[in-house]
Chain A
Amino acid sequence: MNAPNKSGWKPEMQVSEDGLHNGPSTTTGNRALMLEEPLIFEIGHPETTGVDLPEIDPDAPNRLGGFDRSDPIGLVGLTEPETVRHYTRLSRQNYGIDLGFFPLGSCTMKHNPRLNEKVARLPGFADIHPLAPQQSVQGALQVIHELGDWLMKLTGMPGVAMSPKAGAHGELCGILAIRAAHTARGDARQVVLVPESAHGTNPATAAFAGYKVEDIPATPEGRVDLEAIKARLAPDVAAVMITNPNTCGLFEKDFREIADAVHAVGGYVYCDGANFNAIVGRVRPGDLGVDAMHINLHKTFSTPHGGGGPGSGPVVFSEALKDFAPLPVVRKTADDSYELVEEEGRKHRGQSFGRMTAFHGQMGMFTRALTYMLSHGADGLKQVAEDAVLNANYVLRSLEDILHAPFADSGPCMHEALFGDKDFGGGLSTLDLAKALIDEGYHPMTVYFPLVVHGAMLVEPTETESKASIDQFITAFRSVTERALAGDESMKQAPYYAPRRRLDETQAARKPKLAWQDPEPSA
């Protein structure tokens, strides 16, 4: 067994029967480095500000057309020291990759290199306007073109759309291109097939694009049922949307055969590229018959998740779909300069389904992703995929003896290992195990996804964890699993040591409080 921590120090924290920390309570509610922090509305003031601006001249010219805002807005301000402290204190109530192991399956919480941040902040990238004359932003257009070129080469696909703002926006981009391609040939297909293990965005996207969504069952080994797809394929099927590697962490080995069958009935193949990080540099989706695939730059290419965004979701296209891609696009011209083609009507490529967003996409993510790609190179990216897959298989084989691993016999996993909550005692659930892991100092894995496994736990270590770090996690995971199997009731109250205990989500949803309300003035 591996030492839980190499220093040998163990916090001798006792928990009393009521689940509270021992020790006297404090006047402030703080516990040394664990500091409570009020809302800005409780500590700020309308007359306080942290910026120095000229005072308002009441006699200055006013050309606001009589629409002056005379009532209070209701905002409060803090000075700079108060502001920095407020957010520093808040930040310490957050778990992040920088703090520890973050094995959130399907979300790919890998290290975010700081060179990316430095490059994105160069004034030549951060301080340029999207509508600046093109002659003044040639370097920026070059970066978009260069990144697109990397994405096409890494995927073996001949077209790319750079403007989608996130993965789900990229999915929409791909499905809209598929719809446009069918429409262009007068084909009004109605159905999109989606495996039941898919991300929720897949059916939501297809439904948005006006398609009827039909589920495809999985095989007992955790893959899409090839025979079921073949049986369902008909001229009314516009597309299939398949995640590969899939959300059970397995490579869809029949993908090429599925793609050929879909193409044979005139449909298109959408690949959800959320898990591209498992195969980047080693497998090109274009070789598998994919027609469109989005790439989450914040997963595979290390741009920060930022507490829930911003993402970036470029889409690569096959020859059949590339002319339907949205505007704008960046083109390299004969004289080696770069041109942004953004206009509908003039210089239009003819078949584009239109514009999906103002401006040209997530430039701040492009600079970061390209920096990451250049750092790794073709050889390094291949190693990224291999180490990610190696780490996940290591986790799978280190836990399958103790934890239900429904697809352990389906061959090697890809970048993530999937477990279920079978045999947990005392009415304990996956949620309880997750919360106990928080007390052990880990961000929990993805829970209750995919839906096809009861009490699913999806563990994705990524390639940026050391063996020592993974070993320590396995040790912790085994211990909480043993407690869950033994029905350890104390887990139902976990976490004990986080900034907050379990939160009452029912109360939050029944009586939503979604904005600060000023307290009634006391009489």
Chain B
Amino acid sequence: MRYLPLTDTDRADMLAKIGANLIDDLFVDVPAVAQLDGPIRELPMHASEMAVERHMKARANKNLAAGDAPFFLGAGAYRHHVPASVDTVIQRGEFLTAYTPYQPEIAQGTLQMLFEFQSQVARLYGCAVANASMYDGSTACWEAVAMAGRVTRCHRAVLSGALHPHYSQVVKTMAQFTGDTIADAMPAIQTEPDNAGLISRIDDDTACVVVQYPDILGRIPDLTELADAAHAKGALLVVVNTEPVALGAIKSPGEMGADIVVGEGQSIGVGLQFGGPYLGLFAVRDPKHVRQMPGRLCGETTDAEGKRGFVLTLSTREQHIRREKATSNICTNSGLCALAFNVHMTLLGEKGLRELAAENHRLACIAADRLEKIPGVSLLNSAFFNEFTLQLGGNPAREVVRSLADLGVLGGVSLDRLYPGVAGLEDALLVAVTETTTEEDIETLAKELEGVLS
């Protein structure tokens, strides 16, 4: 077996040293009822590298890769070009095969990277401090709700109807067990975000208001008035961002008054990967809230010779010390995805991120203008970044998406996929456009969509 270095001679010598006759002697503590008499029969035997690659490739080939079709899907996961050097860096064995940096003297590479990552995320979000990442945006969203409860000692969260429904569902799943009250809503299909409706649901027991920016329909809510309304009731404003590229073009949540900013970092460096692993981002505007944050934090310090170095710090918040009193049970971060984000963001820099954002917006405007011209199609949004909502004049968007896929076009995400069976949402289609979209792709979508609808 190519991954097992011991030879039979080694095994015999080692058993002799141990004082055992057979390998079975080392498993004597396993009760007889659970002892198998050989390899598990229902599973195949070992296979060569070539055979395994063939097996897996056969499955990969059954999928239509985003790069092989006109592609317009978003709704929390976006296709962006990832520079080749990102993958080169993350495949270096010293990053790929390292562990959590608990021995900082021999983990400065990972630690310095995390410090840079935290700094980039904090700046992108307009916040003071970001952590070293969470599993993904949806779980980070729940962690923000839980943190707001610790800070305010209130246990009611008001969710915007235009928060990604998967995120709302995750929050509601978790709240079933913690006893928090979650006030959620369905998205209002209207041109402007329903800030007034959201504000009217805030009361004195509210720990936080959770709003997505840009929201699930691609609209851009005014966070300033939400922050003011939340703060007036003693609640925190939690802002969720699922498209970090947008923050190269629109104001940061921090500068508009958000207290906790969380989101999905997948757009920068990570790739689509059918939904995971992704990269949860988590930041707070006010440094005094740091000790209530979940997850790992990397901090700067010095070594015994006075050289600058980095360590994981404030770890008394975490499960391995606090056990049942920890701020979260989280035990990993998304280390390698954070590295990919860090490398990609370093390649972009301020200039590159702004240009990337502008190019996304430019192409999205072209797409919106073109698609709106299709008979029966209307554009819901007045404002958007790189994703907007089309209404298909009563046609079921989910069926339309399937028909487009049959024609080799990945045309968007239907709201019915996200909100199955909810009346009034069936004909809405989310269309995302990034720098990877060409004007030919837009034209192809327009033509095929027109054909499907007629």
What residues of chain A lie closer than 8 Å to B137, measured between beta carbons?
358
Q: A94-B109, A154-B43 are in contact. List 16 more A-B contacts (CB 8 A).
A: A54-B355, A73-B353, A76-B349, A88-B89, A150-B43, A200-B323, A204-B319, A204-B322, A307-B101, A310-B334, A310-B336, A363-B275, A391-B6, A412-B27, A467-B14, A512-B313
Query: What secondary structure prevails in chain A residues at the interface with B?
Result: loop
The stretch among A128-136, A228-236, A421-429, A475-483 that forms the contact with chain B is A128-136
Which residues B1-30 have CB closer than 8 A to chain A? 1-7, 10-11, 13-15, 17-20, 23, 25-30
Closest Cβ–Cβ distance, residue A87 to chain B (whole Å): 4
A292 contacts the other chain (Cβ, under 8 Å)? no
Q: How far is the CA of A168 from the CA of B135 in the complex (A)?
A: 11
B65 at the binding interface (Cβ < 8 Å): yes
Interchain CB contact under 8 A, B350 and A72:
yes
Whether A505 pairs with B313 at a CB distance below 8 angstroms is yes
Stretch at the interface among A2-10, A262-270, A315-323, A380-388: A380-388
Beyond A133-B401, A165-B139, A283-B36, is A500–B303 a contact (Cβ under 8 Å)?
A: yes
| CB of A148 within 8 Å of the partner chain | no
B314 & A104 in contact (Cβ 8 Å cutoff): no
| Known contacts A75-B345, A125-B274; A96 and B313 CB within 8 A of each other | no
For chain A residues 355-387, which have a beta carbon within 8 Å of chain B?
Answer: 355-365, 367, 370-371, 374-384, 386-387
Flag if A377 contacts B247 (CB, 8 Å).
Answer: no
A84 touching B66, Cβ below 8 Å: no
Q: In the assembled complex, which residues on chain B have CB atoms less than 8 Å from the CB atom of A135? A: 402, 405-406
- What are 28 inter-chain pairs, A to B, with CB distance below 8 A? A56-B355, A57-B362, A73-B248, A75-B353, A84-B89, A98-B94, A124-B57, A139-B62, A200-B320, A200-B323, A204-B323, A205-B329, A207-B324, A282-B27, A305-B97, A306-B90, A308-B100, A309-B133, A309-B337, A310-B277, A345-B420, A346-B420, A360-B276, A371-B52, A393-B20, A411-B28, A412-B28, A505-B313
Cβ of A332 < 8 Å from any Cβ of B? no
Find residues 151-200 in chain B having any chain A CB closer than 8 Å to their own CB. 164, 166-167, 169-170, 172-173, 176-179
Closest chain-B Cβ to A145's Cβ sits at a distance in Å of 10
- CB of B112 closer than 8 Å to a CB of A: yes
Q: Does B444 contact A (CB under 8 A)?
A: no
On chain B, the residues within 8 Å of A283 by CB distance are 27, 30, 34-36
Question: Is A380 a contact of B332 with CB atoms below 8 Å?
Answer: no
Alpha-carbon distance between A139 and B65 when the two chains are bound, in angstroms = 11
Write the nearest CB–CB distance from B431 to chain A, whole angstroms: 13
- The reply on A166 being an interface residue by CB < 8 A is yes
The one of A40, A97, A138 that contacts B63, using a Cβ cutoff of 8 Å? A138
A143 to B59, CA, bound (A): 7
Q: Are A515 and B170 closer than 8 Å at their CB atoms?
A: no
The answer to the question of A123 belonging to the interface, with a C-beta cut-off of 8 Å to chain B, is: yes
Looking across the interface, which residue of chain A has its beta carbon closest to that of B38?
A: A382
CA distance A172 to B31 in the complex (A): 28
CB-based contact B61/A139 at 8 Å:
yes
Q: Which single residue of chain B is at the shortest CB-CB distance from A210?
A: B177
Q: Is the CB of A128 within 8 A of B65?
A: yes
**Contact status B110-A131, CB under 8 Å:** no
Contacts of B135 in A (CB 8 A): 165-166, 169, 310, 357
| Contact assessment for B6 and A466 in the assembled complex, using a CB-CB cutoff below 8 Å | yes
User: B93 and A99: CB pair below 8 A?
Assistant: yes
Q: Are A284 and B34 in contact (CB under 8 A)?
A: yes
Quick one: which of B38, B332, B413 contacts A308, CB cutoff 8 A?
B332
Say if the beta carbon of A218 comes within 8 Å of chain B. no
A55 surroundings in chain B (CB, below 8 A): 355
Q: Indicate if B447 sits at the interface (CB-CB under 8 A).
A: no
Query: Contact between A130 and B77 (Cβ–Cβ < 8 Å)?
Result: yes
For the complex formed, measure the closest distance between the CB of B187 and the CB atoms of chain A, giving whole angstroms: 16
For B272, what are the chain A residues with a Cβ–Cβ distance below 8 Å? 126-130
User: Which are the 3 A-B pairs with shortest beta-carbon distances?
Assistant: A77-B349, A65-B383, A124-B60
With the chains together, A119 CA to B61 CA distance in Å?
12
Residues of A within 8 A of B333 (CB): 308-309
Of all chain B residues, the one with the shortest Cβ separation from A77 is B349
A500-B119 CB under 8 A given contacts A86-B346, A204-B328, A386-B23: no
Instruction: Tell me, in angstroms, the Cα distance from A253 to B112 when the chains sit together.
Output: 44
Whole-angstrom CA separation of A138 from B64 in the bound complex: 9
- C-alpha spacing A506/B379, complex, angstroms: 56
- Interfacial chain A residues near B347, Cβ < 8 Å: 49-51, 77-78, 80, 83
| Residues from 300 to 336 in A contacting B, C-beta threshold 8 Å | 302, 304-312, 326
- A435–B1 contact, CB under 8 A? no
B233 at interface, CB cutoff 8 A: no
- In the complex, are the beta carbons of A61 and B362 less than 8 A apart? yes
Q: Are A130 and B301 in contact, CB atoms less than 8 angstroms apart? A: no
Taken together as a complex, chains A and B put the C-alpha atoms of A244 and B151 apart, in Å, by 37
Whole-angstrom CA separation of A305 from B99 in the bound complex: 6
In the complex the two chains form, is B319's CB within 8 Å of A358's CB? no
Contact A123 to B382, CB < 8 A, known contacts A75-B120, A467-B6: no
Indicate if the CB atoms of A375 and B49 lie closer than 8 Å: yes
Partner of A94, one of B44, B106, B382: B106
Q: Are B335 and A54 in contact (CB under 8 A)?
A: no
Q: Pick the contact of A53 from B85, B129, B326, B356 — CB < 8 Å?
A: B356
Residue in B30, B68, B273, B382 whose CB lies within 8 Å of A65: B382
* Complex partner residue of A411 from B29, B63, B133, CB under 8 angstroms: B29
Taken residue by residue from 363 to 385, chain B's Cβ proximity to chain A (1 for < 8 Å, 0 otherwise) reads as 00100100000000000011111
Interface flag for B56 (CB, 8 Å): yes
For chain A, residues 273 to 315, give those with C-beta under 8 angstroms from any C-beta of chain B: 279, 281-284, 287-288, 302, 304-312
Neighbouring A residues of B334 by C-beta, 8 Å: 309-310
Q: Which residues of A contact B25 (CB under 8 A)?
A: 412
Shortest distance between the CB of B437 and any CB in chain A (Å): 13
Complex Cα distance, B133 from A129, in Å, reads: 22
The answer on a CB contact under 8 Å between B103 and A443 is yes
Closest A residue by C-beta to B141 = A358
> In the complex, A64→B381 CA distance in Å?
10
Q: Report B191 CB to chain A, min CB distance, Å.
A: 11
With known contacts A57-B362, A353-B173, A376-B46, A256–B31 Cβ distance under 8 A: yes
Counting chain A CB atoms within 10 Å of each CB, the highest count among B58, B93, B314, B339 belongs to B93
Does residue A507 face the partner (Cβ distance < 8 Å to B)?
A: yes
Q: Is A122 an interface residue (CB 8 A)?
A: yes
The CA-CA distance from A119 to B6 in the complex, in Å, is 26
B178 and A210 form a contact (CB under 8 A): yes
Q: A169-B135, A377-B45, A463-B4 are in contact. Are A68 and B251 (CB under 8 A)?
A: yes
Which interface residue of B29, B41, B104, B139 has the most chain A CB atoms within 10 A? B29
- Bound Cα distance A358, B326 (Å): 24
Query: How long is the Cα–Cα vector from A358 to B140 in the complex, in angstroms?
Result: 11
Contact with B along A388-432 (1 / 0, CB 8 A): 011101100110000000000001100000000000000000000
Q: Does B234 contact A (CB under 8 A)?
A: no
Of A62, A132, A411, the residue contacting B410 (CB under 8 A) is: A132
Distance in angstroms from B98 CB to nearest chain A CB is 4
Q: Which one of B66, B109, B435 has the greatest number of beta carbons of chain A within 10 Å?
A: B109
